[in-house]
Amino acid sequence: MELVCPAGNYPSLKAAVDNGADAVYIGFRDETNARHFSGLNFNDRKIEEAVAYAHAHQVRVLVAINTYPQPANWSRWQAAIDKAAQLQVDAVIAADISVLEYAANTWPELTLHLSVQGSATNCEALQFYKTHFNIRRAVLPRVLSLAQVRSLMGNTPVELEVFAFGSLCIMAEGRCHLSSYITGESPNMCGVCSPARAVSWLEKNGVLESRLNQVVIDRYQQGENAGYPTLCKGRFKVDGELHHVLEEPTSLNTLDILPELYKIGISAVKIEGRQRSAAYVKQVTQVWRQAMDSYLASSSTYRVRDEWNTSLSSLSEGTQTTLGAYSRPWQ
């Protein structure tokens, strides 16, 4: 099982490579990938250095070109595919049918992975992408229970990669328009969710208020920890009650089910966080490398160590973690 780590810039890539990643995933500095944040990602020159560094250390490079191009600038996605193929990266992670079609037809040697944004959750959907674009692997949306992942392993036509750690998308990826409904920009179209340009903070009578395009996402009393106003983690009112209607600020952590993921034959575990710092990438990569090595050294005695969880919790949203949809009660 491969440990796939995020790298939003060169220092993060180095941190992942130096601390035990088997593969890194990166993106170009434009809207062709789902982490199109200012100051993030790789320009043409930097990406060459990145690929060279990773390959020199036998770490695979996966390039995310996983947003949905709209007509006016389709050529930008075409150029991204061409560039990735010319760089001889190990795989491109894509979601849009036209992008996959172009890549499969133009660069038949290029390995394709279906992005989580492709939103394939069942064997028929996976078969579609296998039949038409010969994808080798698919990243599963964070909507399946562990039992459902196991069942899908029984009839998937491609390798499966699952999310192991990081910020928790609670909606089926690739099928969430919440961000564009509030701000006009979405993961599918613009590579962003709850974009920073739409965030504003207001302090009034000791209460700190976070807003997204003027919509109140949360209010914090003095002493409460204020989090980034990701709209699905806000506190709203339903039936007169105020609570985290969709989800609490929390991160996914699957260290507990790592043995299961090995046993059912998952090909890769993915760490979320291309928008996070090199220090985050270093720490998460170290913990996961240790956990995986510990399991591989002796699967029967594998135990999640307290220091791993402590380390990961300190990096998590709201400093709490969850198994998310893998666990039925969460659903």
Partner 1 sequence: MKLSLGPIQYFWPRDTVYKFYESIQDLPIDIVYLGETVCAKRRELKLEDWVSLAKMLASSGKEVVMSTLTLIEAESELNSVRKICDQQGYMIEANDMAAVQLMSAKGLPFIAGPFINIYNARTLAMLQKLGLKRWVMPVELSGESLREILTDANGLCRDSKIETEVFSYGKLPLAYSARCFTARSRGLPKDNCQFVCLNYPQGQDVQSQDGQGVFTLNGIQTQSGSTCNLLYDIPDIIETGADILRISPQLTGTQAVITAFRGAFNNQPSINTSDESYCNGYWHHKAGMDNDHTHTLGKS
Per CB under 8 A, 286 contacts partner 1: no
Looking at 25, 42, 68, 295, which residue binds partner 1 (CB under 8 A)? Answer: 68
Name which of 42 and 77 has its Cβ closer to partner 1: 77
In angstroms, the first-to-last Cα distance of the chain is 27
Name which of 48 and 209 has its Cβ closer to partner 1: 209
Q: Find the binding residues for partner 1 in span 184-223 (CB under 8 A).
A: 184, 186, 188-189, 209, 213, 215-219
Spell out the residues 6+ positions from residue 67 whose beta carbon is closer than 8 angstroms to its own: 31, 32, 33, 34, 36, 77, 95, 96, 117, 187, 188, 189, 190, 191
Per CB under 8 A, 122 contacts partner 1: yes
Scan for tokens 């299961």, then name that residue.
260
| E strand or H helix that includes residue 23 | strand 23-26
Angle, alpha carbons 136-141-146 (nearest 5°): 95
Per CB under 8 A, 97 contacts partner 1: yes
**Residues binding partner 1: number (CB under 8 A):** 70
Q: What is the DSSP string of 216-251?
A: EEEEE-TTSPP----GGG--EEETTEEE-SS--S-E
Name which of 155 and 319 has its Cβ closer to partner 1: 155
Q: How far is C-alpha 146 from the chain's CA centre?
A: 18
* Cβ 169 to partner 1 shortest distance, Å: 9
Residue 172: which of 121, 98, 96 has the closest Cα? 121
Looking at 38, 70, 106, 299, which residue binds partner 1 (CB under 8 A)? Answer: 70
User: What SS3 string covers 103-154?
Assistant: HHHHCCCCCEEECHHHCCCCHHHHHHHHHHHCCCEEECCCCCCHHHHHHHHC
Binding segment (CB under 8 A) for partner 1, from list 3-11, 48-56, 141-149, 311-319: 141-149
Per CB under 8 A, 119 contacts partner 1: yes
Q: Find the binding residues for partner 1 in span 225-254 (CB under 8 A).
A: 234-239, 241-242, 245-247
Per CB under 8 A, 101 contacts partner 1: yes
* Cβ 36 to partner 1 shortest distance, Å: 15
Residue 112 forms beta bridges with which residues?
A: 92
Looking at 151, 277, 286, 294, which residue binds partner 1 (CB under 8 A)? Answer: 151
By CB under 8 A, name the binding residues for partner 1: 68-72, 74, 95-98, 101-102, 119-125, 127-129, 131-132, 142-145, 148, 151, 170-172, 174-178, 180-184, 186, 188-189, 209, 213, 215-219, 234-239, 241-242, 245-247, 324-325, 328-331
